[in-house]
Structure 1
Amino acid sequence: MARKAATTTEKPAKVRKGSKTTLSEANLVDLGPERLAAILLDLSSDSHVKRVLRLELFAEAGGEGLGLEVSKRLATIGKSSSRIHWRKRAAFAKDLDLHRRMIERLAQDDATAALDLMLDLLDLATPVLDRLSQAEGPIGDVFLAARDGIGAIASGALPDPIALADRIANLLRRDDYAQFGPLVNALGPALGKTGQAHLRETLEKLSAARAIRDARGAIYKDALRRLADASGDVDAFEATFAPELRRTPLVSAEIARRLLAAGRAEDALATLHAGAPSDKGGRHQSSLEERSAWEDAMLEALEATGHHDEAQKRRWAEFERTLSIPPLRSYLKGLPDFDDVEAEDQAKAVARRFPRFDTALAFLVSWPDLPAASRLVLTRSGEINGADDTLMAEAARRLEGGYPLAATLLLRASIQYVLTYGVATRYAEAARQLLEAESLSAMISDYGEYPDHQAFVADLRAMHGRKQGFRVELEALGATL
C-alpha cells in the first residue's frame, strides 16, 4: 500500500540518536543555556577554548571588535620567528584556521575590513611556512583555504584598486612557496581595470629585474599571464613568453587556443606551424603530451580556417599511428553520411594489423568490437603480455560472456606473468583469475590448439608449485594448486 504524503509544514524536531547520555546536539540542548555556559567557562582554562569563546563574544557584540581581536592575534603570530615543533603543528593550524573562519564571519558585516584581514593572514604564509620543516600539511592547508576563499569576500568589498594591486604584488614578491598565483584570478574583479593595469605595470617592472630562469621571475610571468587572460589580451599573454618558447609545441598550443577564442584563426595557424613538434631524437624530441596538445589545437585551427580536408587527413594519420579513439570519432563525424560505415571497417582493419598487440586489443575492446577482439587474441596469442594487469582484467571481463576461450587466454597470460616474475603484490589477483578461468572452462567445448584447464593447472603446479605466497592466496579462496 502506498503511503500518504505528509501535509504538515511544521519544522521537524531534532532526531535523537542513541541514549540520553550520547554526545549529540539534541542531548546538549537539553542541558539548557545556563548549564552549558557554566561548562564552557570551566573549560576556558584551555587556551584554544578560551580564544574560541572570546571571538564568539566579539562576533556577537559587533564586527569592529572582532576585527580588532583577529588583527591582534595575526600581529602576534607575525612577530614570532621560532620553529614550530611538529607536536604543536596541529594546534597551531587549528588556531590559525579559527581566525580564518572568523574573518569570513566578519565579511558578513564588513567585507572591506575582512578583505584587509584575509590579506594580512596571507602575508603570514611565507614567514610561517619558513618555520616548518615542510610546507605541506594542515598549516599550509589553512593558507590555501584563505587564498581560495578570498574571492567571495572581495566580491562584497569596496577596496582601493591601487592599494589592492600593491598588496597582491607584495604577496607575489614573497611567494617563496608559489601559492599566490590564483589570487590574480580571485581578486581580478575587485581590482577592476585600474587595479589590473597597475598590477600589470608593477609586475612587468619586477619581472624585468629578474633572470630569465629565476623562480620568482616565473611567478611574475604566471601572474602576468593570468592578468592577460582576465582582460582577454592575447598579445599580452604571448609577450610573457620568450621567442624561443613560443616555438615549442605546448606554448604555441596555449597561445593558439587563445587566438582562436579571440577569432584570430589565421594567426593561430601560423603560431602552431612555428611551434610544430620536433621529430629529432634526444632532448629536443617532443613528448606525447606536447604532441597531443599541439595536435588538438592544430585541428581546431585547421577547421576554423576552412582546411577541413587537411584536418581529416591529420585525424586519420593520428589514428593509424596510435589507434587513439578520439581522433577516429572526430574523423568519422566529419565524413558525409554513409561514408562513416566503410571508414569504421577500415579502422578496425588497421587495428587488427597494428604491430602492438596490447594497443590493438585495447582499441577493439573499448570501441567496442568484441568479435574482432576475440579473433585478435586467438590469432596472436603468442603476443599477449600479462604485464598490463588492468588491460588483461578489463578485456577478459568484456569477453567472458560470449568469448570464454579468448577471455581464458588473457587470464592465463596474466597469471603466468605474475608467477614467472614473482610479482608477489599480484598473487591474490592471480589466484582469483585462476578460479575465474576454472569457471569459464565449463563454457568451452573445444580448446583447439590450447591446453584445457586441467593441463594448464598441471603446468602451473610443475613450474610454480613452490611459490608459497600464491598457494596461500589460493587456499584463502578455498582452492589448492
Structure 2
Amino acid sequence: MASRTTLNARNLEALGTGPLAQLLMEVTTGNAAARRKLRLALAGAQSPAQAAREIARRLTSIANARGAIGWRKRKAAIDDLATQRRGIVAQVATSDPAEALALMWRFLSVATPVIDRCRGGEEAVIAVFRDACADLGTLVAAVRPDPEALRDAVFEALVDNRFGQCDGLVGVLAPALGDAGLLELHQRFDALCAQPAETPSDIAAWRRRRLARRALQDIADARGDVDGFVAQTAPEQRHVPATALGIARRLRAAGRTEAALAALDAVTDAAPPAEWQTARLEVLEALGRGEAAQAFRWACFERDLSADHLRAYLGKLPDFEDFEAEERAVALAMEHPDLGAAVRFFLDWRAPGRAAEVLIRRRDEIDGTDTEGLSRAAEALEPDQPGAATLALRAMIDAALRQGRSGQYRQAARHLATCAALAPRIDARTPIEDHDTHVARLRREHARKTGFWSRVEG
C-alpha cells in the first residue's frame, strides 16, 4: 500500500481544493507553460466557447512570435503546441465540433512560421502538426462541412506544406472529399504546377511546383492512380532507391509486378540499401525467377557481407552444396576489402574465432574511428579471444589520442584498463605488442595528452 506522502492523485485530492490551489499558484510561478495550461483548464471549466477563445488567442501569439526555437526551447514549444491541440480535441470538440474544426485548421496554419523558427529538431515539431491532420479526419466526419469549403481548406494547407507537416492529410480526408473533391483538387494543383516561372532562377516557382507535385502524388494515392503518382515523380528522382522503392510498392499492390521490377532496376546507386534489396528479391520470387533471385542474393552478399542474404542463399541450395558455398563465402569475407564489414559478418555468423583471425591477420587495417563496430567486436571477443579484443580496444584508444578527441578520453582510459585486464590471458604466440610496451609507446607519443593520462591514473 502506497504511503500517504507518496505523490499521486488520490493523496493530493485529500489535501482539499484550497491547499491544492495555493500549491499550484506557487509551483507555476515563473513557469509560463504551466500557467498557460492552468488558464486553458480554467477557461474550459467555464465553457467550451471560453476555451476556444483562449486557444485562439494563444495560436495568434504563436503565429506572431519571432524568436528562434533552439534546443533549449524546443521541448517547451512542442509542449505548448500539444497543449493547444489537446485543448481543441478534449475541451472544444466535445460540445462544438464545428468550432473545433475551425480551430484545428487555424492550428495547422501556424506550422510554417513555427517550423521556420526552429534551429534543429524540426521532426518532433512536425509530428505535432501531423497529429492535428489525423484529428481533422475525425472532426470533418463529425461536422460534414460544405464540400467547397473543405476543398479550399485542404488546398490552402497543402500549398503551405513546405516541411511535410501535412503529409497524409489527403489520405485522412479522402472519404470526406470523395471522388469529385479529389478530382477538383487534382485539377487545381495541376494548374498550379503548370504556372510558368517568371525567371529561369525563380525559386518561388520551383517551390510551388514541388509542393504541387507532392500534393498530386497524395491525391493519386488516394484515388488509387499509380500512373498518376509516377507521372509526378521527376525522372531523375526515379533512380534514387527510396523513390524507386515507393513506386515499386505501389505497382506491386496494383498487381503490376513486372513494372515493379523495372522501377527497382532503374536505380543507379552502386550500393542500394537493404530495404531496396529485400524488395527486389521479393519481386523476383513473385515472378518465379528463383535463379535470378539466388544470383542477386550472392551478389548482395559479395558486396555487403550480409549474413541474412547468405543464410537465405544457403537455405535454398540442395543438400551438400550449402557446405561448399559457405566455405566459399567465408573465404570471400576473410579477404573482403572492408575489414569492418568482415568482422561484423563473422560476429553475425556466430563465428568469433574467424572474427578474431581476420582482426589479427589484418591488424594494420583496423579503423579506430569505427567505435560502434569495434566496441561490439571487443565485447564479443573478450571471453575467448582476448588478443583480438585488445587490438580492437587499442585501435579506438590510438584514434582518440591521435586525433585529440578529448571527449573520448574517459572511454579510452577505460579501454586501456580493460586491455590491462586482458593482457595476462593473451597467448604468447599472438603477434601483438605486449601491454607494457604498448603503454610505454602511448606515453612517448602522447605525453602531452594530460586529460587522458589523468583519467588513466585516476
Q: TM-score, normalising length from structure 1?
A: 0.77
Kept in 2, the 8 Å contact 1:396–1:411? The answer is yes
The yes-or-no answer on 1:265 pairing with 2:243 is no
- Name the residue aligned to 2:43: 54
Deviation at 1:252, TM superposition (A): 3.4
For residues 450 and 34 of structure 1, the distance between their equivalents in structure 2, rounded to whole angstroms, comes to: 74
How far is the alpha carbon of 1:83 from its aligned partner?
4.8
> What corresponds to 1:108 in structure 2?
94
Counterparts of 2:73 and 2:389, CA distance in 1: 56
For residues 109 and 416 of structure 2, the distance between their equivalents in structure 1, rounded to whole angstroms, comes to 60
Residue of structure 1 equivalent to 2:361: 379
8 Å Cα contact 2:371-2:396 kept in structure 1: yes
Q: After superposition, what is the alpha-carbon deviation per residue over 1:392-445, rounded to whole angstroms, capped at 9, x for unaligned?
A: 221111111111122122222322333334332222122111111111122234
Distance 2:74 2:407 in 1: 36
The 5-angstrom pairing of residues 346-385 of structure 1 reads: 346-385=328-367
Asked if residue 199 in structure 1 is aligned to residue 185 in structure 2, the reply is: yes
**2:439 maps to what in 1?**
457
Deviations 1:210-234 (A, max 9, x none): 6597112212211222222233321
Root-mean-square deviation (CA, aligned residues, Å) is 4.0
Instruction: State the Cα distance separating 1:187 from its structure 2 match.
Output: 2.3
Gaps of 5+ in 2: 198-202
* 1:94-150 deviation line (CA, Å, top 9, x unaligned): 7765543332023234445422331133234446777x5869789877645533533
Specify whether residues 247 and 425 from structure 1 end up closer, same or farther in structure 2 by C-alpha distance, changes over 3 A only.
Answer: closer
Structure 2 counterparts to residues 241-390 of structure 1, below 5 A: 241-246=233-238, 249-273=241-265, 275-277=266-268, 286=269, 288-289=271-272, 295-337=277-319, 339-390=321-372
- Once residues 427 and 137 of structure 2 are traced to their aligned partners in structure 1, the CA distance between those partners, rounded to angstroms, is 67
Q: 1:53, CA displacement in angstroms?
A: 1.7
Kindly provide the amino acid, as one letter, of the partner of residue 237 in structure 1: F
Aligned partners of 1:139 and 1:318: how far apart in 2?
Answer: 38
The answer to whether the aligner puts 1:185 opposite 2:171 as a matched pair is yes
Whether the 8 Å CA contact 2:336–2:342 is kept in 1: the answer is: yes
> CA offsets, 1:66-104, max 9 Å, x none?
5864686479669x8675698999999877655433320
SS in structure 2 at match of 1:364: helix
Aligned equivalent of 2:208:
216
Does 1:17 pair with 2:5?
yes
Q: Is the 8 A contact 1:118 1:150 kept in 2?
A: yes
Distance, in Å, in 2 between the alignment partners of 1:321 and 1:224 is 38
Counterpart-to-counterpart distance in 2, 1:51 and 1:249: 47
Q: CA deviation at 1:58?
A: 0.3
Residue 442 of structure 1: SS of its match in structure 2? helix
> 1:113–1:196: structure 2 CA closer, same or farther, 3 Å change rule?
farther
Match of 1:166 in 2: 152
Partner secondary structure for residue 462 of structure 1: helix
Q: What is the aligned partner in structure 2 of residue 5 from structure 1?
A: none
1:417 to 1:447, Cα distance in 2 relative to 1, 3 A: farther
SS in 2 for 1:306: coil
CA contact (8 A) 2:387 2:430 kept: no
Report what 1:122 is aligned to: 108
For residues 444 and 113 of structure 1, the distance between their equivalents in structure 2, rounded to whole angstroms, comes to 74
Aligned length: 442
Structure 2 equivalent of residue 228 of structure 1: 220
Please tell me the residue identity of whatever aligns with 2:153.
R
Supply the distance in 1 between the matched residues of 2:23 and 2:400 (Cα, whole angstroms): 61
Does structure 1 retain, via aligned residues, the 8 Å contact 2:305–2:345?
yes
Larger radius of gyration: 1
Amino acid corresponding to residue 307 of structure 2 in structure 1? I
Shift of residue 201, structure 1, vs aligned partner: 2.6
Contact kept? 2:248, 2:263, Cα under 8 Å: yes
The alignment partner of 1:214 has SS state of helix
Distance 2:97 2:173 in 1: 13
CA distance in 2, matches of 1:85, 1:421: 34
Residues 467-476 or 245-254, more deviating:
245-254
Q: Which amino acid aligns with 2:428?
A: D
Give, in whole Å, the separation in 1 of the partners of 2:421 and 2:379: 13
Asked if 2 retains the 8 angstrom alpha-carbon contact of 1:161 and 1:192, the reply is no
CA–CA distance in structure 2, aligned partners of residues 75 and 357 of structure 1? 55
Seen in structure 2, the aligned counterparts of structure 1 residues 208 and 358 have a Cα distance that, compared at 3 Å, is same
1:434 to 397, 401, 416: 416
Contact 2:387 2:427 (C-alpha < 8 Å) held by counterparts: no
What is the SS of the residue equivalent to 2:359? helix
Partner amino acid for 1:253?
L
- Quick one: distance in 1 between partners of 2:383 and 2:56? 69
C-alpha displacement of 1:276: 4.0
CA positional deviation for 1:337? 4.8
Distance 1:91 1:377 in 2: 48
Q: 2:108 & 2:152 partners in 1: Cα distance?
A: 14
Q: Could you say which residue in structure 1 is the equivalent of 2:452? A: 470
SS state at 2:354 partner: helix
Q: Is the Cα–Cα contact under 8 Å of residues 276 and 294 in structure 1 kept in the other structure?
A: no
Q: Deviations over 1:272-303 (max 9, x none)?
A: 44x241xxxxxxxx3645x6565444333322
Q: Secondary structure at the match of 1:378?
A: helix
After superposition, the Cα gap between the structure-2 partners of 1:84 and 1:319, relative to the gap in structure 1 and judged at 3 Å, is closer
Give the aligned partner of residue 401 of structure 1: 383
Higher helix proportion (structure 1 or 2):
2
Shift of 1:306: 1.8
